[in-house]
Chain A
Amino acid sequence: MGKSAEAAEVVADPVAESLADLVAAEDVLIFVNAAVTATGQREFRSDAAGQQLSLAFLHEYVQVNYRPVYAAALALDINDHNAALIIQRLLRTSGEVDAEQKRREGELIAARLAVLPPQRVYRLFRALRAAKVNNRRTRAIQREWLAARPDLGLDAVKYREGLRTAVRHTHLPPGPAEGAKELGDFLFEPKKRTRYAHPLLEAHRRAHYEQGAVYELPFTVAEGFAARHGVAREVFLERIAPRMTRLERLRTQAATSAVASAPRADLASMPLTRLALYVLSLSLDERSRRREELTGALRASALRAAGPHAGSWGEVAAVLDDSYSSYGSGVKRRRPLAVALGAHYLLAALAGSYRAHWTSGRADALLVRPWGASPVGARILDALEGPPERLVIVSDGWDNAPPGLAGEVLRVWRTRLDPARRTSVVHLNPVYDADGLDVRRLAPSVPTAGVRDAEDLPALVEIAQFAEGRTGLAELQSYLDRRVERFVAARRRQGGDRDRDREGSR
């Protein structure tokens, strides 16, 4: 029996291997799609619990079966929620791998932590504490990250509970020797001292009774003190303005616009998707009133995101979903629509010539709103008129007017009208489908990639080519290796510097 099984194995070997390869490649891509889009929050068609359950399964599956790839995902444009989840899982199960893999994982984790926003990292440290992970490696990683913080005094004020938890859990001295004692007192025995040498710590102490000191603190901390002192909101917003981060300024823009002297947020410097979200939060009237300003900012931001690729994509057509489902959910409000709007401006910057087709039939991109059904199929037909060199579809994959037309149109187009593949089609999906354990596809023949930020579009189009189901694991692996190499190298070059953009610096 053993003999015959062996023989069969020899015969079936090449086929089995390539099949396993394809399956593995598909698994990996599914995971990457999920890690880019899913945040464990409610979506238009699924609730938070469903999303979390579905995502947890994928994490477990990929971590156990493809551990090197699981770690390598940290180098891709996955979202912060999943990055934190991956790091936590890697640290929890570090006993399962050899020293070499551990070293590579360590590098990736350190590089990713360096670009995560600090509040995410502190939340991760809290989760590690709750999971009782306190091995030598975890401590080293936390020590390294804390040592690289530009100003622990700021962290102590702004993320007080987070820093306290981290320090308590790892038994590390908070920061460099000279300030460690003072910081320790601030975190654990705040009543002990009557003066602090660090200006922020001192301001925090004084802010308890002195209104002037409030405006030396970071915005989020000052907000609490201002409420305690009963400062009127407008007065507070005006005076705290210089201490706000970019995003805080954008968020409070509506409230501060009444105050003429308050500095306006510099819209053009915002990341593209953030800016699109801001634009969509405005009323239609305001959007058309500030048309020039908003359009200019969106174009500038898109041009910056396009970088060296600007104008290099030739003739591009896009089908963009502004159906009712692009509203997203109460917690991810208008996210899918913002991605589509960002993609619209980015594609305009990337393309030589560009035509957009919104599902609602609207021509004015600035005035889009989530409204109506999703006739994706009919719009694809419009977009293929020409035909363009590239067709980019941004949609949540629900094609309901009529259902399935988009997939059929793309299939017949590919088999009958464009077998030579003169037009490359790619589908970007901003919504993770919890039941399908993947982003929803329009057609099997069209590569689909998850997208969270419109800025990542060029990289995603690249990775989507792997999703056509014809590339094996080896090619995908080499692509991942390249990305990992680039990612870790970038971190080495920066020497552990924070990514200013992510941190939301002023």
Chain B
Amino acid sequence: MNKLDLSGLSVLPSQVWGGIRLVPLVRGTPVEGLRLRREVYGSEYAEVETRPGQRYVSYVPHGFVADWSAEGLADGSADRRAKGGGAESAVYGTRLGGAAPPCVPLRAHHRLAKRLRARGAAERRLRFLPQHLALEGYLSLHFGGPSTAWDEWSAEALRQGLPPRAEAAYGGWRVPGLDEALRVFEIHPGQCGVLLYAADSLAAAFVVPHPEDYRALHATLIEDLYGEVIHQYAFFGGPVPEFTVRLGDGRGVRTLDGLRAAARAAEREWAEGHDALMAARLLDPSYLFERVYAMEGFTLWRFLPSFRRGEREQHIGEVITDHRGRTAYLKTFRLSDAQIRRGYLLSVLSAHDWDLDRASATLGDGRAELVRRIRDAGFEALVREGAERAPRRGGGGGGG
């Protein structure tokens, strides 16, 4: 699996409000056997709903989950400094089925951030929103720090891996115009998802298995996190035009049926144009999928983009697919350019076993430049003082 498959969902004409465009996605038939629940707390999470003769696997999207119990730590993600029971932990995003979700233990850094937030000093850093944890957790989980203890990496980097970072994201309510756009949006019958554009640039995709789920969760889009670019586009971008239907001069139209056919063709034209022009950057590129959980024929994945330079639009997200690989649930987050750069830098370093010389050779500029980039990217703590100069390589390198 390396691509998103939105088959079964068809695009309907967009609804525009100011700079925000919402494109409804409609399913002919809802996905069987999977439903979405809005809110889950404590030990009540992820029950299996049953009806006579029918078995439901319920899943919980990350936007709504925060597990503060110590339970999750037992099978928590591999973290070298996981404390024992009683530590705070948070769920990594979406999960499937009845098993306890993998949790990240939260460290003192997080508490600090929380306090800062309480004073209102850093309210843009929504560290405790689970969706944000999914983002940050994913980046740090994947790139677990230097695997080889080269001299230039600091002792802390070797011991802890990447320090937990804060990635700025904007709550939906801070994206100008999004609240009104969501309020006046008219949900179609059968609608199971939406593609959200700010200034005609794809901000997020949201797909659920059942129309009723969508109706219940439509308003929660305002509580989701959106990338920095989206905030900027919505803030500075003007109103976007509606793609209104054009039937031309109607010369070929002789009967009412002809008129009807022309109207249908215009609608089809919009859907094709949209898929080719606007959603292509989400659907075309290949992603790196990581399987998180599988149950009852459904698989929960989270995915990363290529981080290749030159691709303007890169999304991370999570998706649940059915046994045929079709999307039942999808939620994406648009990365900013800085975030793409950081992802790229880390992936290059990781690909070269964190060897600065080899990595800088791949990147095409010198070692000093690479160290500068690492520092600029916010990984100051990773590199030692004087890492710009090549150290003497001897027997002391080795084992990570």
Contact = CB atoms under 8 A, between A and B. Distances in A.
Interface of A: 44-45, 323-325, 360, 372-374, 377-378, 381, 384-385, 387, 400-405, 407-409, 411-413, 415-417
A44 B245 contact: no
A381 B259 contact: yes
B256 interface: yes
A415 B250 contact: yes
A360 B255 CA distance: 25
A325 B184 contact: yes
Contacts of A360: 189
A245 B114 CA distance: 58
Given A403-B244, A404-B244, A378 B263 contact: yes
Contact of B242 (A404, A412, A417): A404
B15 A400 contact: yes
Contacts of A384: 256
A381 B260 contact: yes
Given A408-B245, A412-B253, A417-B256, A377 B263 contact: yes
Contacts of A407: 244
A45 B181 CA distance: 10
A416 B259 CA distance: 10
- The 9 A-B pairs of least Cβ separation, nearest first, read A404-B244, A402-B13, A412-B250, A373-B186, A324-B186, A408-B247, A405-B245, A416-B250, A403-B242
Given A402-B245, A402-B270, A404-B242, A412 B259 contact: yes
Which among B184, B186, B250 has the greatest number of chain A C-beta atoms within 10 A? B186
Contacts of B250: 411-412, 415-416
Interface string B1-29: 00000000000111110000000100000
B259 A403 contact: no
Which among A323, A374, A402 has the greatest number of chain B C-beta atoms within 10 A? A402
B187 interface: yes
B246 A408 contact: yes
B342 to A, nearest CB: 39
A401 B12 contact: yes
Contacts of B243: 402-403
Contacts of B266: 402, 405, 408
B115 interface: no
Contacts of A377: 245, 263
Given A373-B188, A402-B267, A403-B245, A409 B13 contact: no
Which among B24, B242, B244 has the greatest number of chain A C-beta atoms within 10 A? B244
Given A372-B188, A402-B270, A403-B244, 17 more contacts: A324-B186, A372-B187, A373-B15, A377-B245, A381-B256, A381-B263, A385-B256, A401-B186, A402-B245, A403-B14, A404-B242, A408-B266, A411-B247, A411-B250, A416-B253, A416-B254, A417-B254
B266 to A, nearest CB: 7
B35 to A, nearest CB: 21
Contacts of A405: 245, 263, 266-267
Contact of B186 (A323, A412, A413, A416): A323
Contacts of A385: 256
A256 B107 CA distance: 60
B187 A373 contact: yes
15 contacts: A323-B186, A324-B186, A373-B15, A373-B186, A373-B188, A381-B260, A384-B256, A404-B244, A404-B245, A405-B263, A405-B267, A408-B244, A408-B247, A409-B263, A416-B253
Contacts of B251: 416
B184 A409 contact: no
A341 to B, nearest CB: 19
Nearest to A370: B186
A377 B24 CA distance: 18
A403 B12 CA distance: 11
A324 B260 CA distance: 25
Given A372-B186, A408-B245, A412-B247, A401 B253 contact: no
Given A372-B188, A372-B189, A408-B247, A401 B256 contact: no
Interface in B131-182: none
A270 to B, nearest CB: 30
B239 to A, nearest CB: 11
A181 B24 CA distance: 69
A377 B262 CA distance: 12
Interface string B78-102: 0000000000000000000000000
A45 B184 contact: yes
Nearest to B244: A404
Nearest to A401: B13
Which among A325, A373, A385, A417 has the greatest number of chain B C-beta atoms within 10 A? A373
Nearest to B264: A378
A317 B311 CA distance: 53
Given A381-B260, A408-B247, A401 B188 contact: yes
A395 to B, nearest CB: 12
Interface in B227-247: 242-247
A403 B13 contact: yes
A378 B262 CA distance: 11
A45 B186 CA distance: 12
Nearest to B253: A416
Contacts of B12: 373, 401-402
A374 B12 CA distance: 12
A378 B13 CA distance: 13
Interface in B242-299: 242-247, 249-251, 253-256, 259-260, 262-263, 266-267, 270
A374 B24 CA distance: 13
Contacts of A381: 256, 259-260, 263
Contact of B13 (A44, A400, A416): A400
Nearest to B190: A372
Contacts of B256: 381, 384-385, 387, 417
B186 to A, nearest CB: 4
A374 B245 CA distance: 14
A417 B253 contact: yes
A409 B188 contact: no
A240 B246 CA distance: 61
A484 to B, nearest CB: 39
Nearest to B248: A412
B119 to A, nearest CB: 32
Given A325-B186, A400-B186, A402-B267, A409 B253 contact: no
A45 B16 CA distance: 12
Given A372-B186, A372-B189, A404-B244, A413 B259 contact: yes
